[in-house]
Structure 1
Amino acid sequence: MHTTAGESVQACPDCGAEIRVHGDFTVWCAACDWNVDPAPPEERPGRLARAQRAQARRHGERLLAELTAGGTLRARRDTASVLAYALALAVHALTLAVLGAGVWLLVRGWGGFGMVAGGLLLVLAWVLRPRLPGLPDDVPVLHRADAPELFALVDEVGAAVGTRGVDAIAVDRSINASVLSYGIGARRLLTLGLPLWEILSPRERIALLGHELGHYSNGDTRHGRVIGTAYRSLLTWEYFFHPSPEPTLLALVINAVYAVPRWILLGLLLLLDRLTLRAAQRSEYLADRLAARAGSTEATVELLDRLLVSESAEITLMREANGSALRGPRTRGDDDRADGLWDRLAADMNSVPEHEHERQRRAGIRRGHSVDSTHPPTLLRRTALLIGPPLPPAITCDTGREQRIAAELTGVRRTVARRILRGR
């Protein structure tokens, strides 16, 4: 073995090829893929999860094959989407039927039996009701007056991808980003994971915003209220009929009675999943294309590469939180450490070698849809982006604007950093 600056070299135990070892990163062989995925994530157990993964793999590979063969991506309402809406409406109709039956039994009375049964049905209808998300109350939420420059950037990106901006921005500690509609008026919420935002370059941030806002303009049925709330109602039904693990005679009898309705519910969940899966995966590819339109193809590929190694960011944040816990009760230096957290995180992420990026790409090939059935594997998304001519950026963010946005986020940066260091 010999050592160079920042790395060492050893022989692969399987094929004998030269392996370059980079600090604390996983040691693996590029020649034979030895140890390329030493700790794959646990797959969700159960028949439904296995069926979802199998469907996702088939749809994902088929979509990429279409693109490779010269096919085009476009939002469309196909037969599967229409059937998904019909099934979702049927689920909501069942909830209304339960509500109506409860009211009818309460009115009829029937010597007290109707009152009890009607009351139970009303409670059940309340539990199964379509639930509209609201604004989170456990993380900072920004409105336009709080961050006008950030909202203006979001508005610009929205216009570039064919939609409008958002009404609120929640900032949490996740290495992720998402959008949803909240409240009766279908207002829009963008949730930004501050650790992800902080490790991205300005143009990668524009690509991230383009991807998330692109879900509003590309016909993503799973982001719609009708199907999303119906799916949650079916999950609630399935929870009610979940078999009891108790080894008693009564539990065995109840499980036997529940078996048929539970299989029906699992079948409906799988059917709704299948009807929306192709559109959901297509919407991810479309959102990536819209991200490239806003921030450029190159920036979107860089964004996906960042997401590939997001586990390194998780490790850094965990190490920071553990170090803070070992120092004991809060001290004066905690604020300084919180203020410096994002610089340390960015420095750690910038030190990730290309060797680790390549390992994560190869590990992604092996994992496929093992963890997330709705998102195509990052490598497939990256491949799809590189098919066809590269797109230039429609929006850029100069240094002045970047600094103004950073100033608007000063308060939430410290708040989120403190929560991370305190392990909350």
Structure 2
Amino acid sequence: MTSTVDQRVQSCPDCGTEVRTQYGFVPWCADCDWNVDPGGAGEPAGRLETLRRGLARRHGERLYAEVSADAVLRPRRDLHGMLALALALAVHGVTAALIVGGLLLVVLGWGTALPLLGALCLVLAFALRPRFGRLPEHGPLLLRGDAPELFALIDEVAAAVGTTGVHTVAITDEVNASVSTYGIRQRRVLTVGLGLWEILTPQERIALLGHELGHYANGDARHGLVIGNALQSLGAWWYLLARTPNPTFAEAAVNAVCLLPRCAVLGLLMLLDQLTLRATQRGEYLADSWAARCGSTEAAVGLIDRLLTSDSAATTLLRESNALKAGRPGDGGGRDAWRGLWERLAAHMDSVPASEHERLLRRGARHGHGVDSTHPPTHLRRSRLLAAPPVPATVTADTARRTALDAELCAARDRVARRVVNGR
């Protein structure tokens, strides 16, 4: 319990209610929501992201009502998905046409200026080519031989979800986790950010694995090879056709020529977003269900509560990184200041009061789907888990397993901590 010495007391300027706030956190009024969002949500940078978030706002509440009414969530193959696939194939068809046309112009156009046009087509096709993904460049990479107990846990969670495990685990300092594929063979990689992993309980970590591996089971088309690369290609077209600000006369002419193609690309981007957004957000709700099934409903809700305060964790890591550069007084650790980083982070996150959690939930509810254009708002994800019948964990970690996991991650934890604090 927080003592009154650690609190500041003031009256709410709007309704006069006494407001007690722990030092280091935002003062706000639970009665009238005064100062619940002191900075404001702000508008996203760029017209494209603004339009995407507008789509999410229009469909968000309807999707929440839909998934709340379903007793059991399952992936859906619908007309929107088929249309998205067809549109993505058409986008890749343009890239293929550039390759074929460019080669024909280069081979058959000798003696004219056509090879130059062909070379331009080939350069564009190279910029628009499908990407097969890469392993994360920063952070330790673990294979099965490096962490057998961790991979055994991942395999157990994957079996509970109905999919297979991963080939590589990447360890970073992020307050996040994700799954993706890499290489032509589309091998699987799980990225675990220690900024999140280290502030979770053992069962919340299992819930996190269930959520991330659930994306493989769901068949997330938006990040798949065909549709994901089509979105990247359209994004590249949008960048190439971008309007030049404060143009000269020649640049103004180029802007005018590119206006219609730019509008067409924007329209295709919005259409592909529209066709895939609902499925992507539905996939997040489904992944939350997998998290609850693997780690328990309580652990899944706890995971979401931690995600709610992820900004605080990121700020703590940044403060630790800047402390050494600023010459933290009384540290005494010098270049060894990285030792105990994760313990300090966990202690700080445990000190976040319940009132701060409530403030963040209300802030999310106020801004709705403007907070994120691909994930449902955190407060809606949390509400759905709490509204569903609670489920027990199907995967657990006893003391022996937790000890083995800590031992396997020890070297990676130290390496990442050194990079956070010492910059290497």
CA contact (8 A) 2:324 2:337 kept: no
Amino acid at match of 1:344: R
Aligned pairs for 1:284-295 (under 5 A) are: 284-295=284-295
Whole-Å Cα distance in 2 between the matches of residues 423 and 366 of structure 1? 38
Other-structure match for 1:152: 152
**TM-superposed deviation, 1:223:** 2.4
1:38 aligned onto 2:38: yes
Amino acid at match of 1:4: T
Single out whichever of 414-423 and 271-280 deviates more from structure 2.
414-423
1:24 aligned onto 2:24: yes
Residues 140/352 of structure 1: CA separation in 2 closer, same or farther (3 Å cut):
same
Amino acid at match of 2:250: L
Single out whichever of 413-422 and 293-302 deviates more from structure 2.
413-422
Aligned pairs for 1:275-354 (under 5 A) are: 275-327=275-327, 333-334=333-334, 336-354=336-354
CA contact (8 A) 1:320 1:421 kept: yes
Residues 137/4 of structure 1: CA separation in 2 closer, same or farther (3 Å cut):
closer
Single out whichever of 119-128 and 86-95 deviates more from structure 2.
119-128
Amino acid at match of 2:241: F
Other-structure match for 2:379: 379
CA contact (8 A) 2:335 2:422 kept: no
Whole-Å Cα distance in 2 between the matches of residues 7 and 152 of structure 1? 45
Aligned length: 420
Other-structure match for 1:211: 211
Other-structure match for 1:138: 138
1:229 aligned onto 2:226: no
1:270 aligned onto 2:287: no
Amino acid at match of 2:400: G
SS in 1 for 2:162: coil
TM-score by length of 1: 0.95
Amino acid at match of 1:149: E
Per-residue CA deviation, residues 135-182 of structure 1 (Å, 9 max, x unaligned), is 123321111111111111111111111111100011111100000111
Per-residue CA deviation, residues 111-154 of structure 1 (Å, 9 max, x unaligned), is 14122111121111111110111112332111111111111111
Other-structure match for 2:253: 253
Residues 52/338 of structure 1: CA separation in 2 closer, same or farther (3 Å cut):
same
Whole-Å Cα distance in 2 between the matches of residues 403 and 128 of structure 1? 47
Aligned pairs for 1:180-199 (under 5 A) are: 180-199=180-199
Consecutive unaligned residues of structure 2, counting only runs of 5 or more, are none
Whole-Å Cα distance in 2 between the matches of residues 297 and 411 of structure 1? 32
Other-structure match for 1:84: 84
1:404 aligned onto 2:416: no
Single out whichever of 292-301 and 404-413 deviates more from structure 2.
404-413
Other-structure match for 2:75: 75
Single out whichever of 35-44 and 221-230 deviates more from structure 2.
35-44
TM-score by length of 2: 0.95
Consecutive unaligned residues of structure 1, counting only runs of 5 or more, are none
Whole-Å Cα distance in 1 between the matches of residues 70 and 369 of structure 2? 24
Whole-Å Cα distance in 1 between the matches of residues 69 and 286 of structure 2? 17
**TM-superposed deviation, 1:315:** 1.9
1:121 aligned onto 2:124: no
**TM-superposed deviation, 1:332:** 8.7
Whole-Å Cα distance in 2 between the matches of residues 72 and 404 of structure 1? 35
CA contact (8 A) 2:36 2:362 kept: yes
Whole-Å Cα distance in 1 between the matches of residues 113 and 33 of structure 2? 67
**TM-superposed deviation, 1:235:** 0.5
